[in-house]
Structure 1
């Protein structure tokens, strides 16, 4: 009551504002208006439409513009924003700006006309730090004040990662008073050296800074340093921290404390054994620091444990009398089966004790391994659910490996048979086999090769027989068939055709017989609702595996599809990748983007010829180092019904194997062999980094050395939004 008495006028005005929209006319907007405003809910929109008819014509009946921009920005990078004007006949003055905490840090401006998308380039400052970043894009009518056609404001994600930082150490494990030698390699997004100074820190297991090098200069993007551990270090994982303009990278190293023995006991054996192996085999060795072998007596004990029996259980032992520096050992797998029924997942431990006869020294050592089952796993690669587009090719890959994803050996693959089938479920409910292939065993083709060789010999003899003046019909009657199989020998033309077919088939199956991976393409019928994929594997050792997968049709209300595929098997920097864009409708043009490391690199438009209006268009894209290790092409087009149809494809790029490197070891220069000369050959001006370690240390694979896989993992760290 007090509110009504004190604010009667306010109540009347409020009631009047509620009544006026109810009397307004219907502006003809659909019920799903993007602004969420119902009919007549705001009378001011009518005046805006009347006063700005050139700008607001059909504004809410269909989209007027499209903005494509990455959500991630990095310091020092060029931020690209692609703007397209869809249905406005006059030019639009588009301005894009980047803002950090409300302050503009970069901007770009350009006039854009309908049908020709433009890329706005915004240079992100190199000194940018973390904060709240936003992208603001607005389109205005040229030559007017306040004639805003569209306005977009989007929040962006700032990533401090703008470099690939690789840290290499000379050892996987260190002890007190040892020198830690390490090398830091810094590459930008274009895989070029980063030449600015970096900050390096040494952290103990509690992350306390033990030493630091501020503003350390680089040499062609490489920093080589070393430091000495204390005699009694804190045991644990120490860290080498690299800090560059806000980006931080920490490499952990294992630090222990041990005292060097008079001689070492070494056990060399595989880290994994199959439960079908006949024995646990390896090599037991003893060696002094001067590489002299240890001679005497040795005892080797075998222990085993699993999840059911978590404690080490003694199995058996072997005694070597005498022990001569290095000897082979073998423990039958049956001895383990007597202790543990199920060996899958079990761990074994070998403990050795060597008594050196000359100095009467005893030293011990151990090694551990894991036993895995030998079952074969067959699976379709990719992330389900699998999606296909009716009427367009569908690509799939099937892989065969052990159950822990370890690859099968070539010998096992050569003796295997793989059958792959694809069945389409049509919209009518009927089924149709659209793909069926069998990869036979390699030895099954021996009879076919022998028959082709016999046919070749027959043709040679027939030519010699005909050259002597005899009739070929008499020769054919007696010798033109194989007595064992009863098959007629092939003529020369048939023989050439058969050998070509056999060569193409072997090339098609080569990757499977080497790596256990088979890639195939299915031609999907137009009216397909679902796709069923099956694969079955069996080999001559009795291993059997199978895989099933379901693919669903891509949803499109009007059954319009666009797809992109490639005919290039490999992509290397400096070469071209060929893409094929196809559609099931007549499109005048399409646009495509090239993206890598979550950034847009290139945007273009392709117009199809009016005379042909072919359903397939070929596009060639040059590959740059900025696209490594993989890039994505996004293809999209706009239909007359204002629908945007798109497709994308990811292409891996080999960006780290461009230069050939040659290493030559010259042992003839110093005849005392106290020094070794190394000769390196490659591109002029290149930096060579050499790391020399003992063979058994390198065999540990402790992660301290650079490898092809470690470099690729660092490069792929730029993309953190993978499916």
Structure 2
């Protein structure tokens, strides 16, 4: 009687290892024909076999009946005060296993360990609690498998290195302003959230450093209130000018926030200019305005001088060239028209794209005998449009499966188009494929019409049986489908590639009502599979929300019954499960609950074993809406103080919530400094926890 037991180990780090053939390491343990295991064992590393002939290797693999039996998934990143998960999927018709995972530091110091019995056709998570006191060092993950009938007999032993990262918190510092002067109070908050978006409650240490790096103030062991620490620092009368640093230390994680300190004394009057930050090189003129702030006890009068300078973007300030100088009538608030044709003539350039125009205003007061100057710069950008496909120049598609992507349009310097310009724009995508016989086949066009035009109007003329309600519903569906492109200039396309396709070519054309027309092209090649078997993962959830489910669609070109998936976010395995279907199917749908650990985005990797024993996988990335989930009511009570020197704010929200109020002058809001609490800063802090590093997987195999 011939017995042959095959064990396959795949350890995937950063999720992408399962998608790359070179990252798959298959460990196969075989037995002799008489059923005895050789003393030394035979371990076959599939990627390392000499590829004498690809077909011979495939025949040899099928002859040996090398089928994967379980898949282990873990992360290559270890963080303090987190739960490290090792997901193990035992495929059906596989023997039970006793799994043991350990994290070792240095020469044998064990940090955490977990043991579990893995049954056939199930998914298990080995949970390893990482202490908060770990430090930087050489960490390794050991994964061992034992026979349940013979616990002393090790079936495999794998080991891989882990990368230590001290960041385990999302830290954001909010200050009352970006630029301070001498004698001011620097009021700031430190907002700390954990990986699961819960507030951090352990003590932290905060420092205030001057530009030379000297510690000016230290707040040790500050306990956050609902994850927030509020502090105040008074600047000296003669502070060093430059960038001051607010440093936050939580365990080994260090976060720094910069503020600017200047020596400033309140003058009798000020000059405040304003102008657009960008203008197109096709514009003839633009408006630069000036407003002055005078002491209310004096009547201001004087004269004004306006100078226009220009220089290339990459040059220094000394390269400014004088374009014009005028003396318009003085007014406390006036506007000035800058002629770009005059700038072209003065600098001797046919195009101003890539130039900076500075408007300097000098106001002289007769009463004080003082002159105040202020300037503002405007960058000239190219009016040329950039129309491209997102992603790699050469994409990969799976024959017979849906193919989707994004195409976007913007100005040449990555500035977004206005919604008014996009409303009159249209896009036409023309996909074509080349099949295995070399024949060219054109697929149906994808048309994005301009606002007010509908693709369904043409179908309604052909279909005489359609009623007005159906026609109205089609128009509403088109407005919802093309609404994203008309707001942002990004369009998400999707179509199905024929089964016999070998190469794919997509040409896209953009044109709008202003006469601009650009085109783009993308090419794609077919995904390689030894047995022409593919799986495809898609989602109908555009944005996941906490407490809700994300709907996942799994498609294949063969009948499948058992599938497994792993969810990863911020470089750590969050969740893994195994599902089954009563009968073989090529399309199934399942849902995944969205938790706070998946913010700001998570990746789901689905794995299926084909009938030929080939491990197939595909992934999808879904963003998560993780903040602005609760409503806060703010009411201003102005009748409490009749002197109008104070304003009372009343907030209403859920019990136990921390409410912080920060007031900002409207003139400072236009600068969009990084001191305010904005959604982009929150997302940026969360995305810093994503370890966008190279893949690392278990590359050593020992008995």
TM-score by length of 2: 0.85
CA deviations on 1:164-210 (whole Å, 9 max, x unpaired) are 00011122122333221111000001111111110011122232222
Conserved? CA contact 1:202–1:210, under 8 Å: yes
User: Kindly tell me: are residues 288 and 561 of structure 1, through their superposed partners in 2, closer, same or farther at Cα, counting changes over 3 Å?
Assistant: same
Mapping of 1:114-129 within 5 angstroms? 114-129=120-135
More displaced stretch, 198-207 vs 85-94? 85-94
Q: Partner residue of 1:676? A: 647
Contact 2:68 2:615 in 1 (8 A): no
Residue 62 of structure 1, CA deviation: 5.2
Say whether residues 1:652 and 2:623 are aligned partners: yes
Could you say if the C-alpha distance between residues 291 and 127 of structure 1 is closer, same or farther in structure 2, counting changes exceeding 3 Å? farther
Cα distance, 1:83 vs structure 2 = 2.1
Q: CA deviation at 1:117?
A: 2.7
Which residue of 1 is the match for residue 405 of structure 2?
396
Instruction: Indicate which of 43, 46, 60 corresponds to 2:38.
Output: 46
Sort the Cα spacing of 1:373 and 1:115 in 2 relative to 1 into closer, same or farther, 3 A. same
Residues 279-335 of structure 1 deviation map (CA, whole Å, 9 limit, x = unaligned) = 121320110366999543222211111169861111123323232x21122122221
Which stretch shifts more, 137-146 or 346-355? 137-146
Q: Quick one: structure 1 residues 140 and 292, their matched pair in 2 at CA, closer, same or farther if it must change by over 3 Å?
A: farther
Q: CA deviation at 1:671?
A: 2.7
Partner of residue 215, structure 2: 209
Alignment RMSD (CA, Å)? 3.1
Partner of 1:462 in structure 2? none
Aligned twin of 1:161? 167
Specify the alignment match of 1:578 in structure 2. Answer: 551
Alignment CA distance shift 1:663-1:383 (3 Å) = farther
Structure 1 equivalent of residue 566 of structure 2: 593
Change in Cα spacing, 1:65 to 1:360, as seen in structure 2 (3 Å) is same
1:79 is matched with which residue? 84
- Match of 1:112? 118
The count of aligned residue pairs is 643
> Which residue of 89, 93, 98 maps to 2:98?
93
Alpha-carbon deviation of 1:59? 10
Q: Which moved more, 1:326-335 or 1:524-533?
A: 326-335
Return the offset for 1:672.
2.0
Q: In structure 1, how many angstroms separate the alpha carbons of the residues matched to 2:308 and 2:72?
A: 67
> Secondary structure of the equivalent of 2:559?
coil
Q: Work out whether residues 288 and 359 of structure 2, in 8 Å CA contact, stay in contact via their aligned partners in 1.
A: no
2:194 — aligned with what?
Answer: 188
Deviation at 1:563, TM superposition (A): 0.9
Query: Of 543, 547, 551, which residue of structure 1 is paired with 2:516?
Result: 543
Q: Equivalents in 2 of 1:515, 1:423: separation in Å?
A: 27
Which of the residues 271, 274, 280 maps onto 2:277?
271
CA distance in 2, matches of 1:290, 1:661: 38
The 5-angstrom pairing of residues 445-456 of structure 1 reads none
CA distance in 2, matches of 1:292, 1:568: 62
1:244 to 242, 250, 260: 250
> Does the C-alpha gap of structure 1 residues 397 and 177 become closer, same or farther in structure 2, counting only changes over 3 Å?
same
> More helix per residue: 1 or 2?
1
**Structure 2, unaligned runs of 5 or more:** 7-24, 43-62, 695-703
Comparing 154-163 with 690-699, which one deviates more in the overlay?
A: 690-699
Bigger mean CA deviation after superposition, 120-129 or 301-310: 301-310
Secondary structure of the residue aligned to 1:660 is: coil
Measure the CA separation in 2 of the matches of 1:28 and 1:502.
60
1:151 maps to 157
Question: CA offset at residue 501 of structure 1?
Answer: 2.8
| Per-residue CA distance 1:569-610 (angstroms, 9 max, x = gap) | 221111111010011111221100111111111111111112
Whether the 8 Å contact between 1:287 and 1:294 is mirrored in structure 2 is: no
Report SS of the residue matched to 2:486. Answer: helix
Q: Does the 8 Å CA contact 1:63/1:87 hold for their aligned counterparts?
A: no
1:355–1:641: structure 2 CA closer, same or farther, 3 Å change rule?
Answer: same
Partner in structure 2 of residue 603 of structure 1: 576
The change in CA–CA distance for 1:90 and 1:389 in structure 2 (over 3 A counts) is closer
Q: Which moved more, 1:436-445 or 1:70-79?
A: 436-445
The residue that corresponds to 2:227 in the other structure is 221
Aligned to 1:414: 423
Q: Which secondary structure does the structure 2 equivalent of 1:547 belong to?
A: strand
CA contact (8 A) 1:581 1:616 kept: yes
1:153 CA displacement? 1.4
* 3-state secondary structure, aligned to 2:238: coil
1:617 maps to: 588
CA shift for structure 1 position 64? 5.0
Match of 1:565 in 2: 538
Q: Report the counterpart of residue 716 of structure 1 in structure 2.
A: 687
Alpha-carbon shift at residue 145 of structure 1 (Å): 5.6
Gaps of 5+ in 1: 1-26, 51-57, 453-486
Corresponding residue to 1:350 among 335, 354, 359: 359
When residues 61 and 76 of structure 1 are mapped into structure 2, their CA distance, relative to the original with a 3 A threshold, is same
Q: Which aligned pairs between 1:360-439 and structure 2 lie closer than 5 A?
A: 360-439=369-448
**Structure 1 range deviating more: 327-336 or 135-144:** 135-144
Are the counterparts in 2 of residues 286 and 294 from structure 1 also a CA contact under 8 Å? Answer: no
Match of residue 319, structure 1, among 311, 324, 327: 327
Q: Conserved in 2, the CA contact under 8 Å of 1:286 and 1:293?
A: no
More strand by share: 2
